[in-house]
Structure 1
Amino acid sequence: MGYRVIVDTQKCIGDGECVDVCPVEVYEMRDGKAVAVNMEECLGCESCVEVCDQKAIIVEEQ
């Protein structure tokens, strides 16, 4: 089982909190926004969801 990570670029303010908190480096910053570049590494811990004040991240089981 894996996880799908969705970043709403309309809500993302690019503070990089998700990049900093992710234990498996799912995210990187591109053009001032967070992008899920290593989605297959996602553990489903939702630390990124909890740290995002803009509610720009959704983590779903696949």
Structure 2
Amino acid sequence: MGYSVTVDTDKCVGCGECVDVCPVAVYEIKDGKSEPANSEECLGCESCIEVCEASAIVVEEN
């Protein structure tokens, strides 16, 4: 079972916390915003959601 990762770029402030906390490197910072460049690697741990102060990340089961 996989996960779908979405970042709301209107909310994202580009702090990079999700990049730092993700154990499987799902996120990259591009143009000052977080982007789920490797969303197929997502484990569904939701660590990124916990550290995102802007509430810009949604992780859903496929």
Give the alignment's TM-score, normalised by structure 1: 0.99
Question: Which deviations, in whole Å up to 9, do the C-alpha atoms of 1:37-62 show, x marking residues without a partner?
Answer: 10110000000000001100000000
List gaps (5 residues or longer) in structure 1.
none
List gaps (5 residues or longer) in structure 2.
none
Identity %: 69
Runs of 4+ in 1 over 3 A off after TM superposition: none
> Number of residues paired by the alignment?
62
1:1-62 matches, cutoff 5 A: 1-62=1-62
Let me know the Cα RMSD of the aligned residues.
Answer: 0.3
